[in-house]
Amino acid sequence: MSHAVPGVQRQPLAVPTQVALAGVFAALIAVCSMLPPIPVGGFGVPITLQTFAVMLTGLILGARLGFLSVLLYLVVGLAGLPVFSGFNAGIGVLAGPSAGYLLAFPLAAGLAGALSSVVLRRGQAAAARGAGRMGLGWWALVWACAMVASFVFIHPMGIAGMMLALDLDLATAIGADMVFWPGDVIKNVLATLVAATVVRAFPSLALRRF
């Protein structure tokens, strides 16, 4: 049903497609939050695919639609539908340790989308001139976009949220947050690899033509 061929007619974003993409990617984040955590690394720290899905949404949908999609997930969860990890729901999570992380997600997706839009546009232009496909270097830059978004929004806001909600001191909060760093690097690599697969299947997405 879907067209692998980029759309012939160049039109601005059609509203139904925007709504569908935002809704379906919000559903993807919800599913990734509900999947059981995967133990990673020597410490067996369980990581959920939640931030993976958030970053992926930003990388694939771009700044505006990515931000809106993650915001939709957040609003639906705060309204009380159990889409957060652990099937928790409602405003109550704002008193929990994950409050800062949740509130940072839309901003992080938006920033990752904005930065990666620039990288992908240049990468596609370079690819069109040369090899025909974006090389590893461009995708490394996309990964860097996701990492920047993580460390500008997710981790600082997560630390602030833990300090507020759990009454922690700064050092302990940073320590608790650092537990997530290795998983974060892995998840952003994962998001970049999957984004590359998606862009190969739907090249128009790289140019934010939906």
Q: For 88, left (φ over 0), alpha (ψ -120 to 50), or beta?
A: beta
Measured N-to-C along each axis, helices 99-129 and 155-166 cross at an angle, to the nearest 10 degrees, of 180
Beta carbon of residue 154, minimum distance to another protein (angstroms, whole number): 17
CB of 25 to another protein, least distance (A): 7
Q: Which one, of 161, 122, 170, lies nearest residue 142 by Cα?
A: 122
* Cα angle for residues 62, 39, 183 (degrees, 5° grid): 40
Residue closer to another protein, measured from CB, 152 or 174: 174
- Amino acid identity of residue 139, one-letter, is W
- Nearest to residue 148, comparing CAs of 208, 209, 58, 61? 58
Contact with another protein (CB under 8 A) among 152, 160, 185, 193:
193
SS3 45: strand
Instruction: Please list every residue from 28 through 67 that binds another protein, using CB under 8 A.
Output: 28, 30-31, 34-35, 38, 49, 52, 56, 60
Least distance CB 73 / another protein (angstroms): 7
Tokens of 139: 């995708």
Q: Considering only residues 103 through 142, tell me which ones interact with another protein, judged by CB under 8 A.
A: none
Q: Which of 63, 74, 76, 103 binds another protein (CB under 8 A)?
A: 76
| Residue choice 6, 39, 92, 135 for contact with another protein (CB under 8 A) | 92
Closer of 92 and 130 to another protein (Cβ)? 92
Q: Is 164 in the site for another protein (CB under 8 A)?
A: yes
172 is a site residue for another protein (CB under 8 A): yes
CB-based contacts of 38-44 (< 8 A; 24+ apart in sequence): 40/182, 40/183, 40/186, 41/182, 41/183
Contact with another protein (CB under 8 A) among 50, 51, 63, 73:
73
Number of helical H runs and strand E runs in the chain: 7, 2
Cα 57 from Cα 196, distance rounded (Å): 13
The answer to whether 16 contacts another protein (rule: CB under 8 A) is: yes
Q: Which stretch binds another protein (CB under 8 A): 13-21, 116-124, 132-140, 142-150?
A: 13-21
Q: For residue 114, which amino acid is it? A: A
Interacting residue ranges for another protein, rule: CB under 8 A? 1-3, 14-28, 30-31, 34-35, 38, 49, 52, 56, 60, 72-73, 75-76, 79-83, 86-98, 162, 164-169, 171-173, 175-176, 190, 193-194, 197-198, 201-202, 205, 210
